[in-house]
């Protein structure tokens, strides 16, 4: 009896190990049905005859075949604009659970008590490249979370590096142009990448992280992410605090070497997405601990406004990471286009208690994301099911526009103020608003970049030098010299070793 049970368990374990949820998706779908799922119809719901479905040859006209017309005219419109950055990504669903109470500093309802669970959607992505490209390249990566709270959706977009490239949004398009293709040749031009970055010394801290082991995670489940901005939060008494969030993978931060990544990428350019999907399908749910660094208004008086600079870290010695909750991803999307491609994260999707960040880059992002999403998904992108704040009854004065419009607020008044029981704003106890900060274009982070390098182990240092010189060797010599001069300003020894490696 026990022998039989052990055999069944072993067979199940082997099956589980070998079962490939991606390869078997259609087979699994078939197994979940008793036969064809229904009669074939046109998009308009008209049943399609076998005659129409099988051939347009030897017919009087193709225009009278609605089945064919429906398919061919729709097919040529299937593609929508991809995201201008982070176009290649994978999505998943799950929940956020509060493990530690921070309701004394933030009144957001989803953080109100330990054990409270909030459904979430997540998208994990590379930053550069295109939708069909590799997700195993050396790159920064994104991890965005949409919290479907009872007070509307909160979107936090995280980066795999702990700092951002630039602190002034005026450089955003140039930074991406320089890292993209040369407009004359149509090919990637490594010289423009290095030329631009070395013109903005504050970007070098991110570049060191990018060329260190951090640049290629061993799968999304092993990647940390940082929403970076210092968010202003407010409690029930109207008192402000300032918070940096961090998502740390419970499976540990692990990386691939450049050689391992090249090898994987040539066999499977979708490695990161495939790994995420497979883990979830097999019940090995990836989880992250969400931690915060908290600063009070009194702390701000001591630190100054540098803590809002997205190119610098806030010291964990002075402001340690305090756990708040867990992110668990336990459900795969069932339709990539509907649920992942159409996901839209807006830094401006905030909830009462979380006011956003007071730096200008954040404000620029409030505008840019919305514009991007209107362009690629249309003005009603928040009515697309995956973006809907489904736990709230929405009542807005927003109307019409391109589909989907939902119920378009039915018969409710479409102007405000009105005398006909249209929706009314709630009365806030305290008039919370973002503080005004003084920002500087001064480069604040060269010391942090040097410290980051110093703290690497000797193995990590030597891999960074190899990766860095590999990345730089294709650039024009004049650009290589410019980069090396900057690196020497940060860390003389690193600069010298790089120069040696590049035979400069
Ligand atoms: C001037 C600063 C920035 C601008 C103008 C900008 C702009 C954009 C735009 C237009 C998108 C595409 C949005 C869409 O179509 O759905 C995007 C995506 C993204 N950005 Fe930014 N961004 C900036 C800074 C940042 C920072 C500081 C972070 C991280 C802390 C970040 C993380 C992301 C992520 C993770 C995505 C992908 C979202 C997704 O998965 O759909 N960005 N960004």
Whether the CB of 107 sits within 6 Å of ligand 1: no
Q: What residues contact residue 354 under an 8 Å CB cut-off, 6+ apart? A: 106, 108, 154, 231, 232, 233
> From the CB of 92, is ligand 1 less than 6 Å away?
no
Residues 190, 222 within the same domain: no
The answer, yes or no, to whether any atom of ligand 1 lies below 6 A from the CB of 374, is: no
Residues 155 and 109 in one domain: yes
Smallest CA separation from ligand 1 atom 16, residue: 344
Question: Each residue of 284-321: pLDDT tens digit?
Answer: 999 999 999 999 999 999 999 999 999 999 999 999 99
Q: Do 467 and 491 fall into the same domain?
A: yes
> Does a structural domain hold residue 444?
no
Percent of residues, the chain, with pLDDT higher than 70: 97
pLDDT 10s digits, 212-258: 999 999 999 999 999 999 999 999 999 999 999 999 999 999 999 99
| Cα of 42 vs its chain's centroid, Å | 36
In this predicted model, what pLDDT tens digit does every residue of 416-458 receive, in sequence order?
A: 999 999 999 999 889 999 999 999 999 999 999 999 999 999 9
Q: Tokens representing 319?
A: 């402001």
Q: Which domain holds residue 139?
A: 89-165+217-387
Residue keyed to tokens 């593609």: 79
Confidence check: pLDDT of 15 > 60: no
Query: Is the residue at 64 inside a domain?
Result: no
Domain end position, chosen among 338, 354, 387: 387
Looking at the fold, whether 251 and 365 belong to one and the same domain comes out as: yes
| 20 lies in some domain | no
Task: Assess contact for 121 and 146: CB atoms under 8 A.
Answer: yes
Q: What is the pLDDT of residues 463-476, one digit of tens each?
A: 999 999 999 999 99
What pLDDT is recorded for position 60? 81
Query: If you measure from the C-alpha of residue 345 to the centroid of ligand 1, how many angstroms do you get, rounded to a whole number?
Result: 8
Q: Which two tokens stand for residue 17?
A: 């190990």
Ramachandran class of 228: left when φ > 0, alpha when ψ lies in -120 to 50, beta otherwise: left
Domain CATH number, residue 471? 1.20.1370.60
Cα separation, 261 vs 495, whole angstroms: 26
The pLDDT assigned to 3 comes to 47
Closest CA to 257 of 193, 194, 211: 211
Q: How is residue 88 annotated by DSSP?
A: S
pLDDT digits (tens, 9 = 90+) for 169-207: 999 999 999 999 999 999 999 999 999 999 999 999 999
Identify the pLDDT of residue 371: 98
- Percent of the chain residues topping a pLDDT of 90: 93
For residue 374, the model assigns a pLDDT of 98
465 belongs to a structural domain:
yes
Phi, psi (5° rounding) for residue 139? -165, 160
The reported pLDDT for the residue numbered 438 is 96
The CA-atom distances, in angstroms, between 145 and each of 23, 122, 225, 227, 278 are: 27, 5, 11, 10, 20
Sign for the pseudo-dihedral over CA of 269, 271, 272, 276: positive
Q: Both 255 and 368 in a single domain?
A: yes
Report d(CA 402, CA 330) in Å as an integer: 33
Please check whether residues 159 and 186 belong to one and the same domain: no
Domain stops at, among 387, 404, 436: 387
Ligand 1: residue whose CA is nearest its atom 12: 83
Paired tokens of 351: 């909830």
pLDDT of residue 17: 59
Q: Does 211 fall in a domain?
A: no
Rounded Cα gap, residues 286 and 292, in angstroms: 20
Give the up-direction half-sphere exposure of residue 65: CA atoms within 13 A in the CB hemisphere: 20
Q: For residue 422, tell me if it sits in a domain.
A: no
Q: Distance (Å, rounded) from C-alpha 402 to C-alpha 427?
A: 32
Residue nearest atom 22 of ligand 1, based on CA coordinates: 365
Within this chain, do residues 137 and 178 fall inside the same structural domain, yes or no?
no
∠ CA 172-174-179 to the nearest 5 degrees?
100
Is pLDDT above 70 for 134? yes
For residue 231, say whether it is annotated as part of any ligand binding site: no
Domain count, the chain: 2
Residue 8 has pLDDT above 90, yes or no: no
Token digits of residue 451: 């410290």
Domain shared by 234 and 129, yes or no: yes
**Would you say residue 253 lies in a domain?**
yes
Question: Are both 340 and 192 inside the same structural domain?
Answer: no
Domain boundary among 334, 355, 387: 387
Q: Average pLDDT for residues 65-72, to the nearest whole number?
A: 96
pLDDT at residue 11 greater than cutoff 80:
no
Determine if ligand 1 sits within 6 Å of the CB of residue 90. Answer: no
In angstroms, the CA 298 to CA 440 distance is: 21
Ligand 1 within 6 A of CB of 83: yes
Q: CA 31 to CA 379: how far, in whole Å?
A: 39
pLDDT score of 500: 96
Q: How confident is the model at residue 504 (pLDDT cuts 50, 70, 90)?
A: confident
In a domain, 492, yes or no: yes
Q: Are residues 161 and 265 in the same domain?
A: yes
Q: Is the pLDDT of residue 1 over 60?
A: no
Q: Which pLDDT band holds residue 61 (cuts at 50, 70, 90)?
A: confident
Based on the domain organization, do 303 and 265 belong to the same domain? yes
Q: What is the CATH number of the domain that holds 282?
A: 2.40.180.10
Contacts of 396 (CB under 8 A, 6+ apart): 409, 423
Q: How far is the CA of 85 from the centre of ligand 1 (A)?
A: 7
- Domain shared by 95 and 180, yes or no: no
- Cβ of residue 160 lying under 6 Å from some atom of ligand 1: no
**pLDDT, tens only, 322-367:** 999 999 999 999 999 999 999 999 999 999 999 999 999 999 999 9
- Measuring CA to CA, which residue among 447, 456, 464, 405 is closest to residue 216? 464
Collapsed DSSP state (helix, strand, coil) of residue 256: coil
């Amino acid at each position: 009896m026990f022998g039989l049970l052990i055999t069944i368990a072993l067979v199940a374990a082997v099956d589980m190990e070998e079962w490939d949820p991606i390869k078997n998706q259609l087979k699994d779908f078939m197994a979940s049905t008793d036969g064809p799922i229904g009669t074939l119809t046109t998009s308009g719901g008209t049943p399609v005859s076998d005659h129409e479905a099988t051939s347009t040859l030897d017919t009087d006209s193709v225009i009278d075949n609605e089945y064919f017309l429906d398919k061919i005219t729709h097919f040529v419109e299937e593609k929508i604009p991809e995201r201008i950055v982070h176009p290649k990504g994978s999505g998943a669903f799950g929940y956020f659970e509060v493990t530690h109470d921070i309701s004394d500093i933030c009144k957001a309802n989803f953080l109100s008590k330990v054990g409270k669970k909030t459904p979430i959607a997540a998208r994990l992505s590379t930053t550069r490249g295109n939708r069909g490209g590799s997700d195993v390249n050396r790159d920064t990566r994104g991890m965005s979370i949409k919290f479907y709270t009872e007070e509307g959706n909160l979107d936090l977009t995280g980066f795999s590096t702990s700092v951002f490239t630039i602190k002034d949004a005026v450089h955003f398009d140039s930074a991406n142009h320089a890292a993209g293709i040369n407009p004359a040749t149509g090919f990637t031009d490594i010289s423009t990448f290095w030329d631009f970055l070395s013109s903005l010394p504050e970007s070098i801290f991110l570049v060191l992280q990018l060329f260190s082991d951090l640049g290629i995670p061993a799968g999304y489940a092993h990647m940390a992410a940082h929403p970076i901005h210092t968010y202003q939060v407010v409690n029930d008494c109207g008192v402000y605090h300032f918070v940096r969030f961090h998502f740390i993978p419970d499976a540990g931060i692990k990386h691939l070497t450049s050689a391992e990544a090249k090898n994987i990428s040539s066999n499977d350019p979708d490695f990161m997405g495939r790994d995420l999907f497979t883990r979830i399908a097999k019940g090995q749910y990836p989880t992250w601990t969400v931690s915060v660094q908290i600063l009070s208004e009194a702390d701000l008086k001591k630190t100054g406004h540098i803590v809002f600079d997205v190119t610098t870290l806030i010291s964990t010695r002075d402001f340690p990471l305090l756990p708040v909750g867990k992110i668990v991803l336990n459900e795969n999307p069932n339709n990539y286009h509907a649920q992942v491609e159409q996901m839209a994260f807006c830094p401006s999707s905030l909830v009462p208690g979380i006011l956003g960040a007071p730096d200008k880059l954040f404000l620029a992002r409030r505008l840019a994301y919305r514009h991007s999403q209107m362009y690629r998904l249309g003005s009603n992108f928040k009515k697309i099911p995956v973006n809907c704040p489904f736990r709230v009854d929405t009542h807005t004065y927003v109307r019409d526009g391109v589909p989907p419009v939902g119920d378009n607020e039915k018969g409710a008044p479409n102007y405000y103020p009105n005398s006909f029981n249209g929706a009314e704003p709630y009365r806030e106890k305290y008039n919370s608003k973002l503080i005004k900060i003084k920002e500087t274009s001064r480069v604040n982070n060269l010391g942090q970049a040097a410290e980051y390098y110093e703290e690497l182990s000797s193995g990590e240092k030597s891999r960074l030098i190899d990766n860095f010189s590999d990345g730089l060797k294709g650039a024009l010599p004049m650009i290589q010299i410019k980069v090396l001069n900057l690196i020497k300003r940060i860390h003389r020894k690193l600069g010298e070793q790089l120069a040696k490696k590049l035979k400069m």
